[in-house]
Structure 1
Amino acid sequence: MRQFSVLTLIDAQMNHYSPAEGRVADYVLENPTTTLNLTTKQLAKQCQCSEATIIRFCQRVGINSFKELKIELAKDAHKVNTEQLPNLPVNFEDETDAVLEKVISKSMSALMNTSRLVSTSAIDAAAEAIHGAKRVFLYGAGGSSVVALDAQYKLLRIDISALFSLDSHVQMVMATNMTKDDVLFVVSTSGQTKEVIELMQIAKDKGAAVILLTQHGSSPASRLADILLTISVEEQHIRIGTMSARIAQLAIVDAMFIRLCIQKGNQVFERIIDTHNVIQKIKR
């Protein structure tokens, strides 16, 4: 099964680098083995940039230092070429076993890459904001609505007032009633959806805290968010990138929910047990 690959992550984010960082990315992708033997100063010279740019590039891909980047490059160098095959796009002639392997591989890659990018302090901040909120409003357009709905279900289980609507107009109406005591939790993979940006702006105007779950990189929505939760940028081959993005988003929601439960203390588990028992009665 496919593991974390720093080269895959670097390549997936090519549209989000500054010009200088882009030169570093191009060099590393074309010369991964050579990069292993370079110092920060030597790589900066090769890419015609400053050493500070090298450090910023490393941080852009979720790595703290150039030394750590070289460690990840060394790991990539030891992987056999066949390990890369499941990451290929789904083809119409693929058999079911190949499709399954590619989908699972891409999901695993998204999870591993996201674990490198998402800020744990942002997860804590999101959990703390929701913990202290009077109400939580949730929204996601299209496929992102599935993730927002999952977050609402989890919050309701621990007695948090969580309001969600698939209708953007209804959500806008709810947003106009937000206060500084409320939180808006938005899921938007691209961070460019018009209704999402408008909704976030309304929430900001009302003084509500805005949490955004989106892919890594600058976007109109990310610039509006108070708390930013990022997943890795995934390829969009026949929607397979969108599917893997959803898996990564659900994982972040789960992590945030568990942190929230920890902050609320032992009594929260009594509520989870109570809701579980109620559902079990329906199943009988």
Structure 2
Amino acid sequence: MAEAVLADPAGVSERSITSVARLCRTSETTVLRFCRAVGLAGYPELRIALARAAQGEENDRARSATADSVIAASDSLADVVSKITYADQRAVADTGAAIDVKALQAAVDAVVKARRVDVYGVGASGLVGQELHGRLQPLGVASYAWVDPHAALMSAALLGPGDVAVGVSHTGTTTDVLDALRLARTRGATTVAITNFDRAPIAGLSDIVLTTAARETTFRTGAMASRVAQLVVVDCLFTGVAMQSYDRSATALDASRSVLRSRHTERHDRGVGVGA
């Protein structure tokens, strides 16, 4: 009975209890026992539940098919919102599913042991690189984010064994990032790539490759979805590093928050007016 329901919920919802019993080669009494076993009063309630579930799946497929398409000139603003949010949500989910945990662990180990960590990125990926730096620094990791190509090269020239260089590039083809990563590698640093394409040139220059899973759409080259996916990897890397020394990391983060707390005005609960 359970196999029949899982295989074709919509079809079962359209059958009578006698028809379902025959399909499953069992008795109507057994069908009723199944209904009660799953928390339903009887077969009519099962048919209603299956029909609603089947309709919900159909609606979800229709919404996904629409949201997964490219932004078109005929789209309404509501369509645009739906497509953008769907792309970003999918980027997060797909990246989480695609992360190579062994590669992530290798990157975590390298950062934990590093004398210093250089992060290279330009444009949108440069913002992600600065985010990684901002996450690592409060943990006491000597990290530096370079968005200027010349500064990146000068810093890379000073790296050596025991250092880590992280290159962030969605396409994996940004020459400014590739040049800095290549130089860092010749100096003996461990190189790490954060990219959407594991066969891109950046992968050939990296000891460790952390891949994202994001797609760019119309009007959204270098879009938020790619940055959201990169930030998922950054968050995983940061948390992995923090977990290596949980108590020390918690103390360091508390110290950072304490220093910054004085830079905020007094907070008010939402909905409370200025004069309240």
TM-score of the superposition, structure 2-length normalised? 0.71
Q: Deviations over 1:82-128 (max 9, x none)?
A: 32111222234544433222111001111222222220111111111
1:202 aligns with 2:202: no
Output the amino acid matched with 2:167. Answer: V
Within 5 Å, which residues of 2 pair with 1:28-107?
80-107=61-88
Is 2:239 the counterpart of 1:258?
yes
Q: Counterparts of 1:181 and 1:217 in 2: how far apart (Å)?
A: 24
TM-aligned CA deviation for residue 241 of structure 1: 6.3
Displacement after TM superposition at 1:226 (Å): 0.5
CA RMSD of aligned residues (A): 1.9
Kept after mapping to 2: 8 A contact 1:216/1:233: no
In structure 1, C-alpha distance between the alignment counterparts of 2:242 and 2:207, rounded to whole Å:
22
Other structure's SS at 1:222 match: helix
**Alignment partners' CA distance in 2, 1:208 and 1:157:** 22
Q: Answer yes or no: is the 8 Å Cα contact 1:191–1:214 preserved in 2.
A: yes
**What is the match of residue 258 of structure 2?**
277
For residue 11 of structure 2, what is the aligned residue in structure 1? Answer: none
- The worse-fitting range, judged by mean Cα deviation, of 154-163 and 84-93 is 84-93
Q: Distance in 2 between the 1:246 and 1:223 partners? A: 22
Equivalence map 1:45-194=2 (5 Å)? 80-194=61-175
Corresponding residue number in structure 2 for 1:218: 199
Across the two proteins, how many residue pairs are aligned to each other?
209
* Equivalence for 1:15: none
TM-score scaled by length of structure 1: 0.69
Q: Post-superposition shift, 1:157? A: 1.0
Give 3-state SS (helix, strand or coil) of 2:209's partner: strand
Question: Contact between 1:234 and 1:241, CA under 8 Å: does it hold in 2?
Answer: no
CA distance in 2, matches of 1:109, 1:240: 16
Q: Is the 8 A contact 1:103 1:240 kept in 2?
A: no
Counterpart contact for 1:123–1:256, Cα < 8 Å: yes
Question: Is the CA contact (8 Å cut-off) linking 1:110 and 1:234 kept in structure 2?
Answer: yes
Q: Which range moves more in the overlay, 82-91 or 193-202? A: 82-91
Identity rate, percent: 24
> For the pair shown, which has the larger CA radius of gyration, 1 or 2?
2
1:67-89 Cα shifts (integer Å, max 9, x gaps):
xxxxxxxxx99952332111222
In structure 2, what is the Cα distance between the partners aligned to 1:172 and 1:240?
26
Q: What is the one-letter code of the residue matched to 1:211?
A: V
Q: Which amino acid aligns with 2:250?
A: F
The offset of 1:280, in angstroms, is 1.3
